[in-house]
Amino acid sequence: MKKTYPYKTLAILLVILAMVITACGGDTTEPAADSGSESEAATEADTSSSGEASEAEAVTLKFVICCSEDDAVVYNEIFDAWRAAEPQYANVTVELDVTPFAELFPKIETSVAAGADFDLFQADGPDIKHYSYNEVIISLDKYFTDEEKAAFLPQTIEEGSYLGTFMSPAIMQSCSLMFYNSDMTDAAGVQPPQQLDGWTIQEAWDAWEKTQTDENGDGTPEVWGLRWGQGTWTGDYEQGIIRRSAGERGSPTYAGMGPDGITFVGYLDTPEAVAGYQAYRDMHFGDRAVTPIESIPDIFFTKQSAFIVHPDNAIGTINRLYPDGDFNYGVTGIPYMEGGTELCHTGSWHFGVSPNSEHQDVAAALVKYITGHDGARIWYDSLRQLPARFDLLNELPEYNEYPQQLFAQGLEEIGQPRIQTPCYTEYQQIHAVLLQDLQSAEELDVAARVQQAATDLESACAKYKGWNE
């Protein structure tokens, strides 16, 4: 490729906690080559894990994954390849605990605290610091040399590390841009720019309105202008982008949180951020509403919206649902608030080893294979989403060409990790309820509601004071 690319009520809060996900930048220079001491440690770990697997009659790993049996099929393909490539693990059995999306994140933390004996788990990148602080995950530093860590994109290293310790690698990365149905945009006389530097939200709004249709005049469009986000949940990954984009790079609005990881007043509730939240609300309410209040499943893929903000795995979905190629689409940059900064949130599925595991070395070896070149390639061939590794990203020809080239470019140029704090899980709860209120409450003082959320966040996160000192 031309460039080498180096992620209401207490009841509602509990529901939102169960709904955290992704489906996802630090210094862009690659880490230094491995030191001898760390290489020796990694070699010793590999030897230990090999001995454990080969000397025992059998080793059974219990693996908590999300989210469906379709994912389990891909995992089992990876396990078969692992056992074939590394025969010392030929007698390792992996038992999958396929956990529904709504139950995954609380299950990991509560199960470890209760002494559950699972060995490894799948987790969203921003939650790794939360798990690390709460000792729900072990360090994987001794299993990865510096050279092996340098194979991952810098956002992946940042998201998977805690206080300089590498805790968890990722199998893929993420950057959401804006897809459009080109048949609908052509019919409306709209021409989105086919480049990363796209529209502001204010410019895009005109296109959303022009492509929205209500042919029977009942007030409910047959085709909506926009779906901002994947439509299965309301959270930080996509909906949190709008208010951050209202700030200039380096500003409190853009940062979204203080450097101590627990300060939100003066960051989440700046005038610029409030304007971003107001824009999100206006997408759902008022004379210029362009998106439904209640999420419509697969709204873009069933041709019920003209635009959608979504990661690049939408391409695989389109190809699967329309194998004859009769879904015409394009991709443009993700819209951002006027006067602010274009950005996409990064981060996706990471893997951790439980401190309760009796087979930590073998579990770590499996994590290394899953997130290594060969395991990640099997995953990519099934899901078609941005890899988390330089080698895989650079060898895939589709990331040299439009439209997928825009996602690789976006990851490098505008990709920013979601806020990095051990309070991320609490942040997701409170922030998601704020977003739900913005998109569904009939009467709402937006500025006051945002200020309340910032105050609530500081109360919830105060227990982490001093975590990064």
* Residue 55 pLDDT grade (very low, low, confident, very high; cuts 50, 70, 90): low
Q: Indicate whether 5 pLDDT > 70.
A: no
Q: Which CATH class is domain 10-173+348-417?
A: alpha beta
Rounded-to-integer distance, Cα 176 and Cα 199, Å: 14
The 10s digit of each residue's pLDDT in 346-387 is 999 999 999 999 999 999 999 999 999 999 999 999 999 999
pLDDT in tens, 169-227: 999 999 999 999 999 999 999 999 999 999 999 999 999 999 999 999 999 999 999 99
Distance between CA atoms of residues 279 and 266, nearest Å: 19
The whole-number average pLDDT for the span 458-463 is 98
Out of 3.40.190.10, 3.60.15.10, 3.50.7.10, 3.30.479.30, the CATH code matching 177-346 is 3.40.190.10
Q: What are phi and psi of 389, to 5 degrees?
A: -115, 140
Per the rule left: phi > 0, alpha: psi between -120 and 50, beta: everything else, 250 is left
Residue bearing the bigger pLDDT, 110 or 281? 281
Q: How far apart are CA 447 and CA 437, in angstroms?
A: 12
Is it the case that residue 389 has pLDDT exceeding 50?
yes
**What CA–CA distance (Å, rounded) separates 403 from 388?**
18
Nearest Cα residue to 308 out of 163, 196, 208? 208
Residue 48 scores a pLDDT above 50: no
| Domain range annotation of the chain | 10-173+348-417, 177-346
The pTM is what? 0.86
SS3 82: helix
Mean pLDDT across the stretch 341-348? Answer: 97
Q: Do domains 10-173+348-417 and 177-346 have the same CATH topology?
A: yes
Exposed / middle / buried, residue 61 (Cβ in 10 Å: 0-12, 13-18, 19+): buried
Pairing relationship of beta strands 224-228 and 305-310 according to DSSP bridges? parallel
Chain-centre distance for alpha carbon 109: 19
